[in-house]
Amino acid sequence: MLPAYSLLAPGFAQRVRDTFLVLQTEPGRIAQIIAITELLQSASRGDHPEVVPRLRTLAAELA
């Protein structure tokens, strides 16, 4: 969830990616996709709509 929620702060998001190298592995990619899916579902109910475009961009990059 941390990588997804950090998308609104690009510098911090990069720091998260640099710190947690597991995100660059296949299990890390899958975990990120799962988290993005959960957050997009939550956003469909009105939670944190401001992050939706960046979540979609990240999902496309991970696919």
Tens digit of each residue's pLDDT (9 = 90 or more) over 11-40: 999 999 999 999 999 999 999 999 999 999
- Mean of pLDDT over the chain: 94
Q: How many domains does one find in the chain?
A: 1
CA 52/CA 27 separation, integer angstroms: 23
Report the range of poorest mean pLDDT among 3-7, 36-40, 52-56. Answer: 3-7
Range of the domain at 46: 2-62
Q: Quote the tokens at residue 42.
A: 């939550």
